[in-house]
Amino acid sequence: MNYEAVIGLEIHVELKTESKIFCGCRAAFGAEPNTHVCPVCLGLPGTLPVLNRRAVEYAIMAALALNCEITPYCKFDRKNYFYPDLPKNYQISQFDLPLARNGYLEIDTPSGPKRVGIVRLHLEEDAGKLVHVQYGDSSYALVDYNRAGVPLIEIVSAPDLRSPEEARAYAEKLRQIMLYLGISDCKMEEGSLRVDANVSVRPAGSDILGVKTEIKNVNSFRSLARALTYEIERHIACLERGEEIVQETRAWDEERGITFSMRSKEEAHDYRYFPEPDLPPLVIDAEWVESLRKALPELPDAKRRRFIEEYGLPENAATVLTATPEVADYFEETLKFYPQPRQVANWVMGELARCLNAAGIPITASPVKPQALAQLLKLIDAGTISGKIAKDVFEEMFATGKDAESIVKEKGLTQITDEEVIRQVVREVIAANPKVVADYKGGKEKALSFLVGQVMKATRGRANPGLVNQLLKEELSRE
């Protein structure tokens, strides 16, 4: 039988606010354990939460970017469960009235663009973190509450994804949008972006959903795709053996490349959701939403379209150059000093990308700034250096942070414009290539470019190309 995979993702995104969602503690990652805590986020009796306005704004921005409807009157609910990382024994979340609903995200697939539905987007607080340590012969689980109360949004997709590749494309696109909005770091390795993958299979063509399992603990987009591939094969093998799929939560084991059962439906939590009595309902008026909508930055799809239309870039170049807002900014900043989109695109995607990769640094830390790159490109246009020498100069700029002109001067890479020097080389080249000269005189235009190449080679690319051409023609007609 032919099977079809059905996948829906729940993605948690930590918001990059200064303070936590219900108290004034700092929300930053990486501090000494339990230094960003207070009676509110520690859940001590008698404390009351106060909602962080910025967290709501960030969540609304995310909802708008994902084409959702904002719920004008929403509320918070308590999701009750017991775990040591949850000091209050409940998490403040949103249940029946989430902040936003009914959105979509467009992904690229081999058969064209595809819209993936977004069922809901809600606000909640993060839990603390357990740190497992070995001390002598014993192992301990220590709790760090710094993360407790960091604002999160959970974005729940419809079961619209049909392959691990689509799931990966969706998760990557969602991350790209969050980075464009500047509302999260989205670092999977630090847990500021976490993906739970729900998956089932069914006979191809059926419109009934199969029993799903939920995979947790995927630490990268690559693992997400691997875990789904494994799980889909496991489901199919089960069904082929005539067994039923058990609805359960499974964890991905990166090293062994398998999923294993964490808890089954029978052990599933009854969260006993009820309205949070300590917070008033959240009323989001249309004016607030509109002012946030107006302030949204240009998003990836729009930017990519503009790069194609405004700069005449091919689609793949536009995709690469809009991968992050930082790359796009670098590209456009360079254009301000050197308005030649194609050339700049080639250099940003070529030499610059290669050097950044090799050095393992982000474009924002590039030792070569946009203006410096523009100056280098101008030197090529002016004929001061050849395109080939420019690559060496760029490497030197990247390694030392010096500007193109000083490197060209220091290393004696300046073009040769002295007519007599070039004429001498031209004569030598003509003397050394009698056959090519004869070809040229016989009407072979191409022979000239060979001779130009020889002169450039003899001068290590430093001769002024215009002069080389002119003097070659002069000398050849003289013979």
Ligand X SMILES: Nc1ncnc2c1ncn2[C@@H]1O[C@H](COP(=O)(O)OP(=O)(O)OP(=O)(O)O)[C@@H](O)[C@H]1O
Out of 10, 392, 395, 475, the only residue in the binding site for Mg ion (CB under 5 A) is 10
List the interface residues with ligand X, window 204-263 (CB under 6 A).
Answer: 209-210, 212, 214
- Decide: is 6 part of the binding site for ligand X (CB under 6 A): yes
Nearer CB in complex with Mg ion: 10/439: 10
Q: Judge contact between 152 and 126, C-beta under 8 A.
A: yes
CA distance 377 to 371: 10
Please identify, among the stretches 8-16, 175-183, 323-331, 428-436, the one whose residues bind Mg ion according to the rule CB under 5 A: 8-16
Sign of the torsion angle spanned by Cα atoms 407, 411, 412, 415: negative
Please identify, among the stretches 6-14, 178-186, 259-267, 402-410, the one whose residues bind ligand X according to the rule CB under 6 A: 6-14
Q: Judge contact between 51 and 106, C-beta under 8 A.
A: no
CA distance 248 to 261: 7
Nearest to 198 by CA among 233, 164, 153: 164
Q: Nearest approach, Cβ of 250 to ligand X (angstroms)?
A: 13
User: What are residue 252's DSSP bridge partners?
Assistant: 259
Nearer CB in complex with ligand X: 210/461: 210
Q: Nearest approach, Cβ of 262 to ligand X (angstroms)?
A: 12
- Decide: is 199 part of the binding site for ligand X (CB under 6 A): yes
> What is the x/- site pattern for ligand X, positions 8-47, by CB under 6 A?
xxx-------------------------------------
List the interface residues with ligand X, window 252-311 (CB under 6 A).
Answer: none
Q: Judge contact between 152 and 125, C-beta under 8 A.
A: yes
- At residue 11's C-alpha, the angle toward residues 263 and 62, to 5°, is 155
Region at 191 (left for phi over 0; alpha for psi -120 to 50; beta for the rest): left
212 contact, one of ligand X, Mg ion, none, CB 5-8 Å limit per kind: ligand X
# residues near ligand X by CB under 6 A: 16
Q: Which amino acid is at 124?
A: E
Q: Nearest approach, Cβ of 45 to ligand X (angstroms)?
A: 27
Neighbour-count burial of 67, counting CB atoms closer than 10 A to its CB (0-12 exposed, 13-18 middle, 19+ buried): middle
Q: Nearest approach, Cβ of 249 to ligand X (angstroms)?
A: 8
Nearer CB in complex with ligand X: 97/404: 97
Please identify, among the stretches 3-11, 80-88, 346-354, 394-402, the one whose residues bind ligand X according to the rule CB under 6 A: 3-11
# residues near Mg ion by CB under 5 A: 1
CA distance 227 to 248: 15
Nearer CB in complex with ligand X: 231/396: 231
CA distance 200 to 87: 34
Q: Nearest approach, Cβ of 407 to ligand X (angstroms)?
A: 54
209 contact, one of Mg ion, ligand X, none, CB 5-8 Å limit per kind: ligand X
Nearer CB in complex with Mg ion: 10/405: 10
- Decide: is 91 part of the binding site for ligand X (CB under 6 A): no
Nearer CB in complex with ligand X: 157/415: 157
CA distance 32 to 48: 25
Instruction: Count CB atoms within 10 A of the CB of residue 83.
Output: 13
The pair of structure tokens assigned to 403 is 């500007």
CA distance 286 to 291: 9
Q: Nearest approach, Cβ of 245 to ligand X (angstroms)?
A: 10
Nearer CB in complex with Mg ion: 10/254: 10
Helix 419-432 vs helix 446-458: crossing angle, to nearest 10: 120
> What is the x/- site pattern for ligand X, positions 153-182, by CB under 6 A?
---xxxx-----------------------
Q: Judge contact between 71 and 42, C-beta under 8 A.
A: no
- The secondary structure of 308-337 as a DSSP string is HHHH---HHHHHHHTSSHHHHHHHHHHHHH
CA distance 462 to 417: 9
| Shortest-Cβ-distance residue relative to ligand X | 8
Q: Nearest approach, Cβ of 197 to ligand X (angstroms)?
A: 8
143 contact, one of Mg ion, ligand X, none, CB 5-8 Å limit per kind: none
Nearer CB in complex with ligand X: 85/392: 85
Q: Nearest approach, Cβ of 166 to Mg ion (angstroms)?
A: 19
Q: Nearest approach, Cβ of 138 to ligand X (angstroms)?
A: 33
Instruction: Count CB atoms within 10 A of the CB of residue 79.
Output: 20
Q: Nearest approach, Cβ of 4 to ligand X (angstroms)?
A: 11
422 contact, one of ligand X, Mg ion, none, CB 5-8 Å limit per kind: none
Helix 465-478 vs helix 419-432: crossing angle, to nearest 10: 60
Q: Nearest approach, Cβ of 167 to ligand X (angstroms)?
A: 10
Q: Judge contact between 186 and 178, C-beta under 8 A.
A: yes
Q: Nearest approach, Cβ of 218 to ligand X (angstroms)?
A: 14
Instruction: Count CB atoms within 10 A of the CB of residue 138.
Output: 7
319 CB-near residues (< 8 Å, 6+ apart): 304
158 contact, one of ligand X, Mg ion, none, CB 5-8 Å limit per kind: ligand X
Q: Where does this chain bind ligand X (CB under 6 A)?
A: 6-10, 156-159, 198-200, 209-210, 212, 214
Q: Where does this chain bind Mg ion (CB under 5 A)?
A: 10
